[in-house]
A and B are shown apart, each in its own frame.
Chain A
């Protein structure tokens, strides 16, 4: 007997342990019985590369089995403490799906149902930004993964961890006819590899265990990003031959990369010495600590902070939050410090979208520039979300949040009494400018107060009036309307989670829901401002909200258009001197108008609208919020000014 066959026999015995072979003709060896199973540990300690090495297909025709590879996979996933797994069902991961709901009794992780893979991924994206940890997302490897790809791209651009699991049937001889072939690929990850940080297609359960832990570790090490495991259906479905020999590795504690000590000291020196420094924070605050640290640094220096809103980096009611004055501040800055700032070039330049496209530097030519970002550590070539090259003076390739404590320490050490009094004077000036800016905003908000369509300012003021005493979290703001930032008090890290990352529309509704899911266990009130165009990409999100009873209030910013695109068409038409009368063609969502209240109702979501008179807004919001506070989703459709 050859070695292969001997191992095959061992494996077969293992299989017989795992399967109750009802009515099987034991002698009839199937062709696959000759496949090698895992060798005894002493002979071959390295996991075998063969697909489904530890599992075997039925020899004859058994109808029951007492274990499945999916059970072991779940054992592994459980060590990663996932609360939920999102998915749109598909046969290629039925082995794992069944293990989750029966073997795992649908607890930690609990399975959540989504009507589109884009929803499943975007929910995980929003969830990760509140909770700080990824969710597994199960999709079918070809068709499901392609649906998921847009949402994965957003997560990649947004430095958010996603734990993708794609089912696949690797062994062509095992594929059923027709769709199982269409749903298999030799390298499923290829379609998304440009924006997935790491992927694998494990060849055995031991291989799975190691790759599952490795994937988590890679996803969670800044710059955080999606990872993907392609799981062979045979590996998930077949009985486990050798459970006692399988080992689940430990997840190590990983420390995010910190800035080089000398470079941090140089940065501190520059900050202390500068007359007009500006800190620009983008995706800096990964955790609640990020905001606290930035407050400490900014206060120490009395340095203005421009928070581009990639995360909740800085409280907007702090006098050093000077986002609204960024143009003036950048123009006079002698030092610009970027913290996880992806678009440094765009921060220092103005762009004119004219016939001749122009970039103009708006910062001082002699301004010093320093960038602290982990993004440097995981560059990608194809998709161009890394923005135009900016020649900064010092790049610290490290996680900004993690680097702040040592930077603060250095600044504290270097700031002598004379500099501290200069800082104080600077702070006073900034405070006066801040107060004037806020008064101006409030005054601006009164314009068009009673108008219909409702002004965005009024919509935001009415909404905030009713949530300000709750522990609220603004989980979505599809069109990035600026009024909340002007009128609301964003004083905690979960008040705002940043936008899509890749500007891929279809993010806002499902990502908001994922964030609301994470907020649910903390009893927070989640609200999202929701574009009509965005909602129509993934309207099924509303069903998931109702089905899983996720409390969230969607307030529609319904302008009955893809208004952003309408504006581009207006610009094109005028550029060609043809007038704007046709610019609505292909850019508006009317005729018929969508009844979003009816849409929501059809999926079990409380809804009101369309509301056109601003006076009707407050009562509708009150009723909807009562529903949300009881733990259910609600939607208020408001007809609002375009932008």
Chain B
């Protein structure tokens, strides 16, 4: 739970894999039951994270090459 969690913006995961991680997570991520987070809500989250701007070309950020 202390380590950085993976990046989900523009995730290439399928919804099924996404859902599996949320319902029966590997390692230390808390598990969300259907009671707490319905499939519908989960789908909304999935759509949301996929819509987030993902990576951008590093060359556009000179300050990342210091």
Known interface pairs A447-B54, A577-B33. Does A571 touch B64 (Cβ–Cβ under 8 Å)?
Answer: no
B1, B33, B55, B64: which contacts A568 (Cβ < 8 A)? B1
B4, B54, B61: which contacts A461 (Cβ < 8 A)? B61
For residue A469, which residue of chain B has the nearest CB? B66
User: Do residues B64 and A442 form an inter-chain contact, with CB atoms below 8 A?
Assistant: yes
A573 vs B31: C-alpha distance when bound (angstroms): 10
Contacts of A564 in B (CB 8 A): 2
B45 close to A (CB within 8 Å):
no
User: Could you tell me the distance in whole angstroms from the C-beta of A151 to the nearest C-beta in chain B?
Assistant: 23
B7 close to A (CB within 8 Å):
yes
User: Do residues A447 and B64 form an inter-chain contact, with CB atoms below 8 A?
Assistant: no
User: Do residues B4 and A567 form an inter-chain contact, with CB atoms below 8 A?
Assistant: no
**B18-51, CB < 8 A from A:** 27-28, 30-33, 35-36
User: Could you tell me the distance in whole angstroms from the C-beta of B64 to the nearest C-beta in chain A?
Assistant: 5
Contacts of A579 in B (CB 8 A): 35-36
Known interface pairs A447-B54, A577-B33. Does A354 touch B9 (Cβ–Cβ under 8 Å)?
Answer: no
A564 vs B9: C-alpha distance when bound (angstroms): 23
User: Do residues A443 and B1 form an inter-chain contact, with CB atoms below 8 A?
Assistant: no
B53, B54, B63: which contacts A462 (Cβ < 8 A)? B63
Contacts of A446 in B (CB 8 A): 55-58, 60-61, 64
Known interface pairs A447-B7, A487-B66, A570-B30. Does A353 touch B55 (Cβ–Cβ under 8 Å)?
Answer: no
A445 close to B (CB within 8 Å):
yes
User: Do residues B61 and A577 form an inter-chain contact, with CB atoms below 8 A?
Assistant: no
A384 vs B11: C-alpha distance when bound (angstroms): 41
User: Do residues A445 and B64 form an inter-chain contact, with CB atoms below 8 A?
Assistant: yes
A325 close to B (CB within 8 Å):
no
A466 vs B66: C-alpha distance when bound (angstroms): 10
What is the size, in residues, of chain A's interface with B at 8 Å between Cβ atoms? 35
User: Do residues B63 and A449 form an inter-chain contact, with CB atoms below 8 A?
Assistant: no
B52 close to A (CB within 8 Å):
yes
Identify whether the interface residues of B are mostly helix, strand, loop, or mixed.
loop
User: Do residues A352 and B28 form an inter-chain contact, with CB atoms below 8 A?
Assistant: yes
**A529-585, CB < 8 A from B:** 564, 567-568, 570-571, 573-575, 577-580
Contacts of A439 in B (CB 8 A): 58
For residue B29, which residue of chain A has the nearest CB? A571
User: Do residues B55 and A571 form an inter-chain contact, with CB atoms below 8 A?
Assistant: no
**A447-495, CB < 8 A from B:** 447-450, 461-462, 464-465, 468, 482, 487-489
Contacts of A575 in B (CB 8 A): 30-31
User: Do residues B66 and A465 form an inter-chain contact, with CB atoms below 8 A?
Assistant: yes
A595 close to B (CB within 8 Å):
no
A564 vs B28: C-alpha distance when bound (angstroms): 14
For residue B4, which residue of chain A has the nearest CB? A482
Contacts of B2 in A (CB 8 A): 564
Contacts of A354 in B (CB 8 A): 28
Q: Interface centre among B9, B28, B64, by most A CB within 10 Å? A: B64
User: Do residues B52 and A448 form an inter-chain contact, with CB atoms below 8 A?
Assistant: yes
Contacts of B4 in A (CB 8 A): 482, 643
User: Do residues B30 and A571 form an inter-chain contact, with CB atoms below 8 A?
Assistant: yes
A444 close to B (CB within 8 Å):
yes
For residue A572, which residue of chain B has the nearest CB? B30
A442 vs B55: C-alpha distance when bound (angstroms): 10
User: Do residues A444 and B30 form an inter-chain contact, with CB atoms below 8 A?
Assistant: no
Q: Interface centre among A447, A464, A570, A643, by most B CB within 10 Å? A: A447
User: Could you tell me the distance in whole angstroms from the C-beta of B1 to the nearest C-beta in chain A?
Assistant: 6
Contacts of B14 in A (CB 8 A): none
List 6 interface pairs A-B (beta carbons < 8 Å), by A numbering.
A439-B58, A443-B58, A448-B52, A461-B61, A577-B35, A579-B36
The 10 closest A-B pairs by CB, nearest first: A574-B30, A465-B63, A446-B56, A579-B36, A571-B30, A442-B58, A442-B64, A468-B66, A461-B63, A443-B55
Residues on A lying within 8 angstroms of B by beta carbon are 352-354, 439, 442-450, 461-462, 464-465, 468, 482, 487-489, 564, 567-568, 570-571, 573-575, 577-580, 643
Q: A450-B53, A464-B66 are in contact. List 10 more A-B contacts (CB 8 A).
A: A353-B1, A353-B28, A443-B55, A445-B64, A448-B53, A462-B63, A564-B2, A571-B1, A574-B31, A574-B33
